[in-house]
Structure 1
Amino acid sequence: MNAPFTTYGVDGGVGLTALLVAAARAIETHRHDSLAQDEYAEHFVRAAPACAGWPVRIEQVPDGEHNPLWGRFARYFGLRTRVLDDFVLRSAGTGVRQVVLLGAGLDTRAFRLDLPSDCVVHEIDRAGVLAFKEQILTEAAAVPRVKRVLVPVDLRADWVTALTSAGFDPSAPSVWLAEGLLFYLPAPAETYLIDTVHRLTTGGSALAFEAKLEKDLLAYRDSAIYTATREQIGIDLLDLFHRDPRPDSAGALAARGWSTSTHTPFDFTRLLGRGPLPERNDALEGNRWVFAHKPHEPRP
């Protein structure tokens, strides 16, 4: 008889949003015009009591693509997954062999992406989230394509020591993802995280993160996306987002010599031909995706 699943890491709060993203990835996987494939996402959704009854295919949603949550918002997460997948693969193509997932959640890139065999993926998140993920992946007989190193630590604790103790090498180039993370953190915590990534990286490294630029998040409280998320699955994202004025993390990196580019999600919708486009009272209006590269130091 199988042991009961450990779900305390994803049964509420920010942890529950990991299941929301997993459900979106499952829906994206089954779309006829899929932007990203994640065969494990559906397993996470089906295993957690907190999301019993959530759809994993768009055909299970009565109003389908017109549903603000499972249509438009899920497509946003699918688009984000694809764009960050491409970012990691491009970085690996330049010789980077260390991947760090900050707030890894239910990320399965070590299983999904065609990374070089000598890559190492470090997954940082709370112990409960990682324990839940490991149980589900074990049940699914999932086999990673590259070496995975789990780093069970809260990002509010000493995650640097945990990461370096787990084998991360600051002297080798690395690629970092902070996917759907920073807007849950207080501003000082975001600043510390960005400063720390700078300190732990050498030339040739890269970082991608998501930011929100709205000055007043509550101005979008009655937007279709936030309303549908509250009413359909009981997640009030605006209660989870931190209300501090956000720091200019892209500017901070640029001041330290990184090259940065900032995009709206809609830039990639137009590039790839699929994804959300702007609409009235749009909760995605202030979302920005930032891509940063640390240059190689000149040789003496």
Structure 2
Amino acid sequence: MSETSTTGDPRHPAGDPSVFLVPAEGDTPTAATRRTGAEGVDEGVGLTALLVAAARAIETHRHDSLAQDVYAEHFVRAAPACADWPVCIQQVPDGDDNPLWGRFARYFGLRTRVLDDFVRRSVGTGARQVVLLGAGLDTRAFRLDLPSDCVVFEVDRSGVLAFKERVLTDLAADPKSKRVPVPVDLRADWVTALTSVGFDPAAPSVWLAEGLLFYLPGPAETYLIDTVDRLTTVGSALAFEAKLEKDLLAYRDSPVYTATREQIGIDLLDLFDRGPRPDSVGDLAARGWSTSMHTPFDFTRLQGRGPLPEPNDALEGNRWVFAHKPRS
């Protein structure tokens, strides 16, 4: 698949969410279905939400925790596919030496903290709408002390949100700010779904695409970034995660990917899109956004905890991008 904007590809006219249905180059239909996450929370991309929940649970129980998510372990225990996964590092035989539940889980804990701080700062400058794209098992509406007039929109497939709702209802969990689930597949008309439940494009907003874009074909990422730009006004902010490796398969034997395949049966490289990636940072900058891009290791050094570079490192190409639409 060529690295083009949706506006330049006659198969994907501007504003057409069907770009999310296009398989990556070399995909079989089965692989494309696994990658785009058409299944429930116990399969495909949906299962990675439980992986992140387990990592957040482990982080929560650490004495030097960077982020607290008391709901995370309940998601893990409620799903048959991961009922035997660890929820604290003491349940891992080799502890922090385990590349999955040690180093990789610590990565997710660090990412959670960094994006928590991003949301807090962005809301602190006046934004009162938070949009979580591919929200998964995110509980920021429950965990963060956001202003009472802040609204958190959780955009994800109905099956994922229904599972999440069942667990939170059983816990009698109350959000700290207004929470609006938006049950829609990102391959469908999620813009209409979002605006129909109260999202106001004329008011400043904060957007997170946490652990989402590398599952999407390049044109789908371009469509998403274009759409966020169209739905935001000055004073808005966006954070997302990207991968810059030219050849993902070069890292197939890295400890993180190997452990994830062997210990819990998730082949991340089979789920990631392997086509060329667009320059979303450049696209945002061309539209007037201020942008910054960092490695996770930058924040490890800042926080004093988290992963550091290793040989044959599956995290080497990961970048965390922060963008703001200046007021003037």
Q: Same fold (TM over 0.5)?
A: yes
* Counterpart-to-counterpart distance in 2, 1:109 and 1:149: 12
2:312 alignment counterpart: 281
Q: Identify the match of residue 252 of structure 1 among 279, 283, 294.
A: 283
Q: TM-score, normalised by structure 1?
A: 0.96
Letter in 2 for 1:224: P
Where does residue 36 of structure 2 map in the other structure? none
Which of 48, 58, 74 is 1:17 aligned to? Answer: 48
Q: What SS does the aligned partner of 1:76 have? A: helix
Q: What's the secondary structure of 1:208's corresponding residue?
A: strand
Runs of 4+ in 1 over 6 A off after TM superposition: none
Give the count of matched residue pairs.
290
C-alpha distance in structure 1 between counterparts of 2:67 and 2:172, whole Å: 21
> Among residues 267, 277, 285, which one is paired with 1:236 in the alignment?
267
Matched, 1:32 2:63: yes
Q: Hey, what does 2:184 align to over in structure 1?
A: 153
Match of 1:4 in 2: none
Q: Secondary structure at the match of 1:282?
A: coil
Give the 3-state SS of the residue equivalent to 1:209 in structure 2: strand
User: Post-superposition shift, 1:225?
Assistant: 0.1
Task: Tell me which residue corresponds to 2:300.
Answer: 269
The answer on whether the counterparts of 1:122 and 1:151 sit within 8 Å (CA) in structure 2 is yes
Alpha-carbon RMSD: 0.6
* Mapping 1:73-222, distance limit 5 Å: 73-222=104-253
* C-alpha displacement of 1:253: 0.1
Match of 1:63 in 2: 94
Q: Secondary structure at the match of 2:321?
A: strand
CA positional deviation for 1:21: 0.1
Cα deviations across residues 53-85 of structure 1 (Å, max 9, x unaligned)?
A: 100000000000000000000000000000000
Matches of 1:91 and 1:121, distance apart in 2: 13
Aligned partner of 2:42: which letter?
Answer: D
1:43 equivalenced with 2:74 (yes/no): yes
The AA in structure 2 aligned to 1:254 is: A
State the secondary structure of the residue aligned to 1:26: helix
Q: 2: distance between equivalents of 1:9 and 1:113?
A: 27
Q: Is the 8 A contact 1:10 1:16 kept in 2?
A: yes
Work out the CA distance in 2 between the residues paired with 1:239 and 1:139: 34
Q: Residues of 1 paired with 2:70 and 2:237: CA distance?
A: 27
Q: What is the distance in 2 between the residues matched to 1:232 and 1:24?
A: 14
| Greater relative CO, 1 or 2 (CA 8 Å, sep 6+) | 2
CA distance in 1, matches of 2:83, 2:271: 21
Cα distance per residue 1:28-65 (max 9 Å; x no partner)? 00001000000000000000000021000000000000
Instruction: Please give the per-residue CA displacement for 1:132-188, whole angstroms capped at 9, x wherever unaligned.
Output: 000000001100000001100010110000000010000000000000000000111
Q: Take 1:231 and 1:43, find their aligned partners in 2: how far apart are those partners?
A: 24
Shift of 1:244: 1.1
The TM-score normalised by the length of structure 2 is 0.88
AA at the equivalent of 2:155: I
**Structure 2, gaps ≥5 residues long:** 1-38
> Once the 2 structures are TM-superposed, how far is the Cα of residue 9 of structure 1 from its aligned partner?
2.2
Q: Give, in whole Å, the separation in 1 of the partners of 2:281 and 2:75.
A: 33
